[in-house]
Amino acid sequence: MAVEKAGVRPRGLTPSCRHRFPIFEQRVYINSCSQGALSDAVRASYEHYLADWDEHGAPWEYWVERGEAARSAFAGLINAAPDEVAVTTSLSAGVSALASGLRFARRSKVVLTDWEFPTIGQIWHAQEARGARVVHVPAEADGTIPLEHFAGAIDDDTLIVSITHICYRNGAMVDVPAVVELAHERGALVLLDAFQSVGSLPVDVRALGVDFLGAGVLKYLLGSAGLGFFYCRRDLVERVWPTQTGWFADENIFAMDHTDYSPAHTAARFQSGTPPVPSIYAGIAGIELMQEIGIPATREHVNALNAHLFEGLDDLGAAVATPRAVERRGALVCVKSTDANELVATLGREGIVTSERDGNLRISAHCYNTVEDVDAVLASLRRHRELLA
C-alpha cells in the first residue's frame, strides 16, 4: 500500500499558475470537487464568445467548428478518437442517451455502487419502467468497495456495470481495471463516471478498459457549467440506438430532414439539440490551460499537498473518511464533522471555501493550491475542533 510520504513542503506547480486565478487575491479556494476556480483564460473566452456574436451575428459555421474542437480536446484528454466522443450539455445528457438506447430483454441487470452521484442512480432507476433491474453494490464503512462485492453482483444477466471513478462523497477511487475485468469476463459492459477524476489525474479509456465514460468540465478541467462529454468505444457505437436524441445527433445535421431518424455513425449519436456554445468556448480554454499546467504534474502536486493535509488532520485527531493509499483516492479529502454545514460556513467566514456532502467536509486541492492554503484550512479546523467528529 503506497501511503504518500509526508514531511516535504510541496512547492510544485503553484508559482507558475496561481496568478491566473484571481479568486486567490480574496480567498483560500480549495473546493475544486465542486467547481474549478475561474481563470483569466476562461474569463477571456467568454469575452471572445460575446465579441464573435456581436461582430458576426450568427457565425454558426465557426460555432460548429468550436464544437468539433471541443470534441478533439476531450478525445485527447482521455486517449480516445474524436469519433468516439459526443459533446453534451452535462454528464447526465450522455448517460441518459446511452440508457435510452439499451434494451433490457436479453440481459436486464444494471449494477451500480453505493458511491454513485444521484444522477447516475436516478437515470438507471428510470429504466426500471423499461425492464431494467437495478442492483446496488454496497460499500464498506472503511471507505472501500471490496472486489468480492462486485463479484457477487455481476452475473450473466448483467447488461451494464455503472461505476464512479472517484466518489464525490468520500474521495475514494474504485479499482476500475479490476471491475472492468470482472464485468467483461461475464459479458457485461462498463460505464465510468469520471467527473471527479478528469483533469485531476490522467484518465485513459484504453488503459482503464471501460466501454463508456461520461464527465463534465466544470471541476478539475476549469470550465463552466453547461458542457460535458460522453465516450463510447468505437465498436459499440452502432450497437446502441438512442431514443433520447436531437438534430445534433443526426448523421447529417445540415440535411434538416424531419422525416426519419438516422443517427450518426459516430458517438455524436449520443448528442441532442443546439450545443452549449458559450460553455464550449470556456471548456476549450479550461482544458487548454489545464494541459498547459499539466495533469500528471497536478496529480503529483496535489498528492504532496494531501500528504501534508493528512498529517495535519492526524495531529488534530480528525476522522478522515477518505482512504489513505494514494492509488485508492482522488484529489478530494473528506473529513467527518459533527455539523458539516456549520463547518463549511465557519471556514467560509474565515475566507476559506470548501463544501460538504454526507456529513463530511470536502477539501479538494488542485494545481493552484499551496501548502499555505492547506495550513490555513488546518489552522481554522484547529480553532473549531468541536465541529470535527
Ligand X SMILES: Cc1ncc(COP(=O)(O)O)c(C=O)c1O
Q: Which residues bind ligand X (CB under 6 A)?
A: 90-92, 117, 119, 164, 168, 193, 195-196, 216, 228
380: nearest Cα among 22, 4, 30, 8: 30
Cβ nearer to ligand X, comparing 67 with 94: 94
Q: How far is the CB of 277 from ligand X (least distance, A)?
A: 17
Q: How far is the CB of 148 from ligand X (least distance, A)?
A: 24
Q: How far is the CB of 279 from ligand X (least distance, A)?
A: 11
Cβ nearer to ligand X, comparing 31 with 164: 164
Residue 151, all three cell numbers: 463479484
Q: Determine the Cα–Cα distance for residues 353 and 215; give it in Å rounded to an integer.
A: 23
Q: How far is the CB of 71 from ligand X (least distance, A)?
A: 17
Cβ nearer to ligand X, comparing 76 with 121: 121
Q: Determine the Cα–Cα distance for residues 126 and 259; give it in Å rounded to an integer.
A: 29
Cβ nearer to ligand X, comparing 172 with 388: 172
Residue 29, all three cell numbers: 479556494
Cβ nearer to ligand X, comparing 70 with 304: 70
Residue 124, all three cell numbers: 438507471
Q: 375 with 367: CB under 8 angstroms?
A: no
Q: 338 with 172: CB under 8 angstroms?
A: no
Cβ nearer to ligand X, comparing 92 with 370: 92
193: nearest Cα among 219, 172, 212: 212
Positive or negative, the CA dihedral 40, 46, 50, 51 is: positive
Cβ nearer to ligand X, comparing 172 with 295: 172
373: nearest Cα among 334, 381, 39: 381
* Residues 6+ away with beta carbon under 8 Å from 57: none
**Other beta carbons within 10 Å of 139:** 18
Q: How far is the CB of 218 from ligand X (least distance, A)?
A: 8
| Phi, psi (deg, nearest 5) at residue 312 | -65, -40
Q: How far is the CB of 64 from ligand X (least distance, A)?
A: 22
**Other beta carbons within 10 Å of 132:** 20
Q: Determine the Cα–Cα distance for residues 318 and 386; give it in Å rounded to an integer.
A: 10
Q: How far is the CB of 123 from ligand X (least distance, A)?
A: 9
Unique residue bearing C-alpha cell 470482472: 182
Residue 336, all three cell numbers: 467527518
Q: How far is the CB of 92 from ligand X (least distance, A)?
A: 3
Cβ nearer to ligand X, comparing 121 with 202: 121
Cβ nearer to ligand X, comparing 14 with 92: 92
Crossing angle (nearest 10°) for helices 277-293 and 40-56: 150
Q: 165 with 344: CB under 8 angstroms?
A: no
Unique residue bearing C-alpha cell 495550513: 375
Q: How far is the CB of 55 from ligand X (least distance, A)?
A: 31
